[in-house]
Structure 1
Amino acid sequence: MADYIVRATAANAQIRAFAATTRDMVETAREHHNSSPIATAAVGRLMTAGAMMGTMMKNEQDMLTLQIKGDGPIGGVTVTADSRGNVKGYSVNPAVMLPAKNGKLDVGGAVGAGVLTVIKDMGLKEPYVGHSVLQTGEIAEDLTYYFATSEQVPSSVGLGVLMNKDNTVRRAGGFIVQVMPFVEDEVLDQLEKNIQNLHPVTTMLEECEASETIDKTENGYEAKAILEQVLAGLDVEYTDITPTQFCCNCSKDRIEKAIISIGKKDIQEMIDDGETIEVKCHFCNTAYHFTVEELSEILKKSK
Structure 2
Amino acid sequence: MNNKKDRLIRGTAMNGRVRAFVIRTTALVEELRQRHDTWPTATAAMGRTLTAAAMMGAMLKGNEKMNIQVRGDGPIGHIIADANALGEVRGYVTNPHVHLPSNSSGKLDVAGAVGTSGFIYVAKDLGMKEPYTGSSPIISGELGEDFTYYFAISEQTPSAVGVGVLVGTDNAVMEAGGFIIQLMPGLNDDEITEIEHAVGSLPPITSLMDQGLELEEMLKWMLPDAVVHDEMDIHFQCQCSKERIEQTLISLGQSEIEELIAEDEKAEVVCHFCNEAYMFGKEELEQILEQIAN
Which of 80, 94, 97 pairs up with 1:95? 97
CA deviation map 1:3-34 (0-9, x unaligned)? 11000000000000000011111111111111
Q: Counterparts of 1:115-264 in structure 2 under 5 Å? A: 115-207=119-211, 209=212, 222-232=214-224, 235-264=225-254
Q: Which amino acid aligns with 1:75?
A: G
Give the whole-Å Cα distance in 2 for the aligned partners of 1:159 and 1:263. Answer: 43
Match of 1:249, SS state, is coil
Superposition TM-score, scaled by structure 2 size: 0.95
The aligned counterpart of 1:2 is 5
Q: 1:262 offset after TM fit, Å?
A: 2.4
Q: Counterparts of 1:277-288 in structure 2 under 5 Å? A: 277-288=267-278
Please tell me whether the aligned partners of residues 175 and 226 of structure 1 are also in contact (alpha carbons under 8 angstroms).
Answer: no
The aligned counterpart of 1:20 is 23
Sequence identity, in percent? 47
CA deviation map 1:245-278 (0-9, x unaligned)? 1111211111111112223332222122143221
Q: Which amino acid aligns with 1:231?
A: L
Q: Which amino acid aligns with 2:28?
A: M
Q: Which amino acid aligns with 2:276?
A: T
The aligned counterpart of 1:31 is 34
Match of 1:300, SS state, is helix
Return 5+ residue gaps in structure 2 as ranges.
none
CA deviation map 1:62-113 (0-9, x unaligned)? 1111111122111111000110101011101111121111211111111112
With 171-180 and 93-102 compared, the bigger mean Cα shift is at: 93-102
Match of 1:104, SS state, is coil
Superposition TM-score, scaled by structure 1 size: 0.92
Give the whole-Å Cα distance in 2 for the aligned partners of 1:269 and 1:62. Answer: 39
Return 5+ residue gaps in structure 1 as ranges.
212-221
RMSD of aligned alpha carbons = 1.3
Which of 84, 87, 93 pairs up with 2:86? 84
The aligned counterpart of 2:51 is 48
1:266 aligns with 2:256: yes
Q: Which amino acid aligns with 2:8?
A: I
Match of 1:285, SS state, is coil
Over 3 Å counting, the alpha-carbon distance change for 1:262 and 1:226 in structure 2 is farther
Match of 1:277, SS state, is strand
Give the whole-Å Cα distance in 1 for the aligned partners of 2:198 and 2:274. Answer: 38
Provide the aligned length of Structure 1 versus Structure 2: 288
With 97-106 and 117-126 compared, the bigger mean Cα shift is at: 97-106
Runs of 4+ in 1 over 6 A off after TM superposition: none
Give the whole-Å Cα distance in 2 for the aligned partners of 1:247 and 1:97. Answer: 26
Give the whole-Å Cα distance in 1 for the aligned partners of 2:157 and 2:189. Answer: 16
CA deviation map 1:31-70 (0-9, x unaligned)? 11111011111111111111111010012x1111111112
